Amino acid sequence: MSRPATGKPLNWARLGESYALLVAMVVLFCIFGLALPKTFPTWGNVSTMLGSQAVLVFLTLALIVPLTSGDFDMSVAAVLTMAAMLIAILNARLGVSLFLAIPVALVVGLLVGVVNAFFILYFRIPSLIVTLGTGTFVNGIVLWISNSATIGGIDFALVMWVVGTRLFGIPLAFYYAIGMALLIWYVFGYTAAGRRLLFVGRGREVARLSGIPVDRVRAAALLTSSFIAALAGVLYAGTIGAADPNSGNSFLLPAFAAAFLGATAITPGRFNPMGSVVAVYFIVIGITGLTMLGIQSYVQNLFYGGALVTAVALSQLVRKREPQDFN
């Protein structure tokens, strides 16, 4: 007598594809752990890697929201820098409370998103061009208001909220990043807004014919991206206790590399928050390990640039080389 089927058999190929990057991250960690047994696998080093990359996680999450709807946002790093600089100027120079300085920085970040959405959707200019232009413009404003100088002296309370306080030895910044990733994961997977976002990214004309307000969805994605980037700026200011008018730009390439590499993991073929988190820490483990082995600083550019090209190629293989529509 045959036994009734209890469920669908596991698709081992799909499972392997989903978790290959996670396995690769663990393997990479073990390799460096064996090569540097006294320094790399220590809890101090692990907690530092987890906490120090929260800003990059936030910026990557900011990127994947418009990427899911088929738009680039090249201004996220500039928004991060602007938010951090506004907090520094308002709080350190003018003596404004953090409880006012932080909301101002977030509102300014949202305004950049409004400008992006207006030019992209009203004038029908490609998002890559608009956001590259607004990002450069915002960078110019940052250099102007800061006089091209680093501003320190931010209220130490922000540092305590971000990296000074630890839970299980890990800075709170890490938990903020994981919390944001879980929130976006829920929105993408379990809300009508997330489904509309994905539908628009897969085909705008089909989505429009289905009754989805495509422009409204794209505008919401661009505003959300700028808001999360501004939150990343708040974290950045709290991480270093200051604002540097130039260093925020160094996050843009790693964020894109993590976004596209993350699209090959957990939910292959889609930009997804959990895959992005895994990708960030895969890249960081590689760079940290190579740096501790004594490789010169240029390895970061090699690693990030190579990771971006490889990630885009892998994401296209996952999509079976179907062109990604970024209009």
In tens, the pLDDT along 267-296 reads 888 899 999 999 999 989 988 888 888 877
In tens, the pLDDT along 109-118 reads 999 999 999 9
Q: Is residue 139 part of a domain?
A: yes
CATH number at residue 243: 1.10.3470
Q: pLDDT category, 127, cuts 50, 70, 90?
A: very high
Q: pLDDT category, 14, cuts 50, 70, 90?
A: low
Q: Is residue 289 part of a domain?
A: yes
pTM: 0.91
Q: For 113-160, give the DSSP string.
A: HHHHHHHHHHS---HHHHHHHHHHHHHHHHHHHHTT--EE---HHHHI
Comparing 13 with 32, the larger pLDDT belongs to: 32
Q: pLDDT category, 2, cuts 50, 70, 90?
A: very low
Q: What is the pLDDT of residue 310?
A: 75
Q: Is residue 324 part of a domain?
A: no
Q: pLDDT category, 315, cuts 50, 70, 90?
A: low
Q: What is the pLDDT of residue 1?
A: 43
Q: Across 35-39, 178-182, 254-258, which has the greatest mean pLDDT?
A: 178-182
Kindly tell me if the per-residue pLDDT of 132 is higher than 90.
yes
Q: Is residue 12 part of a domain?
A: no
- Which of 55-59, 126-130, 289-293 comes out lowest in average pLDDT? 289-293
**Domain count across the chain:** 1
Q: pLDDT category, 322, cuts 50, 70, 90?
A: low
Q: Is residue 261 part of a domain?
A: yes
Q: Is residue 42 part of a domain?
A: yes
Determine how many CB atoms are found less than 10 A away from the CB of residue 87: 29
Q: What is the pLDDT of residue 134?
A: 97
CA atoms of 23 and 196, how far apart (whole Å): 32
Q: What is the pLDDT of residue 306?
A: 76
Q: Is residue 166 part of a domain?
A: yes
Q: What is the pLDDT of residue 324?
A: 54
Return mean pLDDT, the chain.
Answer: 89
CA atoms of 187 and 191, how far apart (whole Å): 5
Range of the domain at 154: 35-318
Q: For 172-193, give the DSSP string.
A: HHHHHHHHHHHHHHHHHHHSHH
Residue for token pair 């220590």: 42
Kindly tell me if the per-residue pLDDT of 196 is higher than 60.
yes
In tens, the pLDDT along 166-180 reads 998 999 999 999 999
Radius of gyration in angstroms for the set of CA atoms belonging to the chain, rounded to a whole number: 21
Mean pLDDT of 74-83: 97
Kindly tell me if the per-residue pLDDT of 248 is higher than 90.
no
Q: Is residue 198 part of a domain?
A: yes
